[in-house]
């Protein structure tokens, strides 16, 4: 073996939230040498942001900032410390169903459905409540959980079709351990009260209030975090691209030929990609059982004032077949800097109807934008040649766009690994793969590194990197990886502990 060119105590692969969380912690503790590698030219990973030639910004899917961890908040506030760096929004979210905008969460707001559908949903809720009283076993899959909690009415109208559009697999192929705080279990008395009083349910969930960066989109956050780290420890682009990994001698060979010797390795690349670079045939075979969806993100820039019908909506859900996307985000609502200034002169490319523009003369704005997400799996095919046109027609069908709307920018990007699917087999596979890697000094962490969607948000992913470092250096428990329910059911626990320690320290200080 050739002599290594670089030797470090901890090597980090990937500059998404997980890798940057690990790097931030290593830099803060400052007791171990480290290096971060990233094959892209900029940080962010699956939380990065692209800018179109016309000046529209689009995230890699719908990302917002809400947090279970004070440490995460503090690191972001250090990177973007000014009040002007952020916008804070109250979530305004709806489900499009039967031509109506139904407040999110759908299962708490069935009063906004036609009367016949209200009856079907209430009958299902009553049957589910009665059945739950005599149930002796836990639901075996996500579909059984839906029926146990909500009944056939809500299952058929929303939960089954929507989740197939998101995951690309039937709900019977998914486990239900991942749910946690992500799906609201309806209270039948609460729902009945809302129907009788004609009162929609209020905001629910951890992201009812969220932050968004004023500039640079979500990717701007991670670029700012990266700027707080020493440049000498960061390698981007060709210099940070991993070719192969040798776990027997703890080396990583880069595309440019550089050999890096490491003591421990924290990898946020997809675990199926990681084991392929290791060349471990047994782990490769195991990882073939892990399911994932591909995500197609389509952004549309529109000339004109944002319509009243759009208002201050944030993101919207679409369970029905009249559009290919499962979610649309009014991305221009998050920050005025997510689109070009109104004085920018842009040409109309086409109308939302698909008709070509009658004029090639560039004109001024104002502008607003939509961002749609479409999933693809072997069970849910997508025709890329017609996807943009299908999406525009879908936007007209659900009244996001009018046929005459002027489209000045179109963005399309495909991410092969979009969502890690919590399949029935997932836990059994991960219980073999992740410990096997750790025994060889490799910590596979992150949205696809540890393949746990329930701890795949930006704050979770960041903390997975932080806790991996603490485990390596101090033997600390990796709480987020090993106890997702605990982390998600106590969103303020870590914050309270941190604040309590800080207060005690202040009281004891001479």
pLDDT tens profile 403-426: 999 999 999 999 999 999 999 999
Per-residue pLDDT, 178: 82
Give domain status of residue 246, yes or no: yes
Say yes or no: 435 and 363 in one domain.
Answer: no
* pLDDT (0 to 100) of residue 180: 60
Short-list 104, 96, 87, 173, CA closest to 372: 96
- How many Cβ atoms from other residues are within 10 Å of residue 351's Cβ? 18
Q: Which domain holds residue 163?
A: 106-197
Which of 388, 420, 452 terminates a domain? The answer is 420
Q: Does 133 map to a domain?
A: yes
d(CA 447, CA 462): 10
What CATH number is associated with residue 351? 3.90.660.20
Q: Are residues 318 and 396 in the same domain?
A: yes
Instruction: Examine residue 466 and state whether it is found in any structural domain, yes or no.
Output: yes
Residues 411 and 298 in one domain: yes
Mean pLDDT score, 20-45: 96
The reported pLDDT for the residue numbered 50 is 96
DSSP code string of 8-55:
EEEEEE--SHHHHHHHHHHHHH-SS-EEEEESSSSS-GGG-EEE-TTS
Considering the domain architecture, whether residues 133 and 155 belong to the same structural domain is answered as yes
How do beta strands 34-38 and 6-13 pair?
parallel
User: Do residues 454 and 486 share a domain?
Assistant: yes
3-state secondary structure of 418: strand
The CA-atom distances, in angstroms, between 316 and each of 104, 325, 369 are 9, 10, 14
Tell me if 44 sits within 8 A of 287, measured CB to CB.
no
pLDDT in tens, 243-287: 999 999 999 999 999 999 999 999 999 999 999 999 999 999 999
Q: What 8-state DSSP symbol labels residue 313?
A: -
Query: In this structure, is residue 124 part of a structural domain?
Result: yes
Same domain as 165, residue 134 = yes
Asked, for residue 404, whether it belongs to a domain, the answer is: yes
Nearest-Å Rg of the Cα atoms of the chain is 24
Same domain, 328 and 286: no
Interior CA angle at 48 toward 38 and 410, to 5°? 130
Which of 135, 168, 197 is at the close of a domain?
197
Please choose, from the candidates 50, 11, 48, 40, the residue with its C-alpha nearest in 3D space to the C-alpha of residue 237. 40
On whether both 330 and 427 belong to a single domain, the answer is no
Domain count, the chain: 3
- What pLDDT, on a 0 to 100 scale, did the predictor assign at position 207? 65
CA 415 to chain centre: 12
pLDDT of 41 above 80: yes
Q: Which of 172, 131, 173, 167 is nearest to 149 (CA)?
A: 131
**pLDDT > 90? residue 482:** yes
Q: Please name which of 292, 299, 451 lies closest in space to residue 373, comparing C-alpha atoms.
A: 299
What pLDDT, on a 0 to 100 scale, did the predictor assign at position 501?
42
Determine, yes or no, domain membership for 208: no
Give the pLDDT confidence score for residue 510 in this predicted structure: 46
Where does a domain end: 389, 420, 451?
A: 420
Query: What pLDDT, in 10s, does the model give residues 56-99?
Result: 999 987 788 878 899 999 999 999 999 999 999 888 899 999 99
User: 317 and 416 share a domain?
Assistant: yes
- d(CA 401, CA 309) in angstroms, rounded, equals 10
**What pLDDT does 4 receive?**
64
In a domain, 75, yes or no: no
Tell me the whole-structure pTM to 2 decimals. 0.91
| Residue 333 shares a structural domain with residue 408 | yes
Exposed/middle/buried for residue 66 (C-beta within 10 Å: 0-12, 13-18, 19+) = middle
Q: Which residues contact 358 (CB under 8 A, 6 or more apart)?
A: none
Which residues, other chains included, contact 425 with Cβ-Cβ below 8 Å and sequence gap of 6+? 289, 290
227 and 318 both lie in a single domain:
no
Cα end-to-end distance, the chain, whole Å: 56
| H-run or E-run covering 344 | none
* Contact call for residues 375 and 387 (beta carbons, < 8 A): no
Tell me the CATH number at 233. 3.50.50.60
Q: Does one domain contain both 39 and 140? A: no
H helix intervals, 254-355: 271-278, 281-287
DSSP helix/strand/coil, 145: helix
Rounded distance, CA 345 to CA 408, Å? Answer: 10
Report how far residue 335's alpha carbon sits from residue 56's, in angstroms, rounded to the nearest whole number. 11
Does any domain span residue 157?
yes
């Amino acid at each position: 073996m050739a002599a290594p060119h670089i030797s470090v105590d901890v090597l980090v692969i990937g500059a998404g939230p997980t890798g940057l969380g690990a790097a931030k912690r290593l830099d803060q503790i400052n007791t171990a040498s480290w290096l971060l590698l990233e094959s892209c030219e900029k940080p962010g990973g699956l939380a990065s942001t692209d800018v179109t030639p016309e000046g529209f910004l689009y995230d890699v899917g719908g990302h917002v900032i809400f947090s279970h961890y004070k440490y995460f908040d503090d690191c972001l506030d250090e990177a973007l410390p000014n009040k002007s760096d952020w916008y804070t929004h109250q979530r305004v979210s709806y489900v499009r169903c039967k031509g109506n905008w139904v407040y999110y969460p759908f299962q708490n707001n069935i009063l906004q459905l036609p009367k016949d559908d209200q009856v079907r949903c209430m009958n299902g809720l009553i049957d589910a409540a009665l059945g739950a009283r005599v149930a002796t076993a836990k639901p075996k899959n996500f579909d059984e959980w839906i029926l146990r909690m909500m009944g056939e009415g809500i299952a058929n109208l929303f939960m089954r079709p929507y989740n197939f559009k998101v995951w690309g697999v039937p709900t019977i192929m998914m486990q239900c351990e991942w749910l946690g705080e992500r799906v609201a279990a309806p209270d039948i008395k609460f729902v009945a009260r809302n129907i009788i009083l004609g009162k929609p349910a209020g905001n629910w969930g951890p992201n009812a209030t969220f932050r968004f960066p004023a500039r640079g989109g979500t990717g701007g956050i991670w670029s700012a975090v990266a700027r707080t780290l020493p440049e000498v420890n960061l390698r981007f682009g060709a210099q940070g691209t991993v070719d192969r990994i040798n776990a027997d001698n703890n080396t990583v060979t880069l595309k440019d030929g550089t050999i890096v010797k490491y003591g421990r390795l924290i990898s946020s690349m997809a675990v199926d990609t990681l084991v392929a670079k290791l060349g471990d045939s047994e782990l490769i075979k195991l990882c073939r059982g892990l399911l994932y969806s591909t995500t197609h993100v389509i952004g549309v820039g529109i000339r004109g004032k944002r319509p009243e019908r759009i208002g201050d909506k944030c993101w919207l859900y679409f369970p029905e077949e009249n559009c290919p996307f499962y979610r649309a985000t009014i991305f221009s609502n998050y920050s005025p800097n997510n689109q070009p200034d109104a004085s920018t002169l842009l040409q109309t490319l086409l109308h939302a109807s698909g008709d070509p523009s009658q004029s090639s003369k560039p004109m001024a704005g104002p502008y607003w934008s939509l961002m749609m997400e479409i999933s693809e799996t072997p069970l849910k095919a997508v025709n890329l040649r017609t996807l943009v046109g299908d999406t525009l027609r879908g936007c007209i069908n659900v009244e996001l766009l009018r046929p005459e709307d002027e489209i000045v920018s179109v963005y399309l990007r495909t991410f092969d690994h979009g969502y890690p699917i919590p399949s029935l087999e997932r836990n059994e596979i991960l219980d073999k793969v992740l410990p096997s890697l750790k025994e060889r000094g490799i910590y596979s962490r992150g949205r696809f590194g540890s393949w746990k969607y329930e701890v795949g948000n930006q704050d979770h992913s960041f903390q997975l990197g932080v806790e991996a470092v603490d485990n390596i250096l101090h033997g600390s428990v990796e709480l987020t990886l090993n106890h997702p329910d605990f982390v998600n059911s106590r969103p303020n626990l870590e914050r309270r502990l941190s604040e309590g320690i800080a207060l005690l320290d202040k009281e004891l200080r001479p």
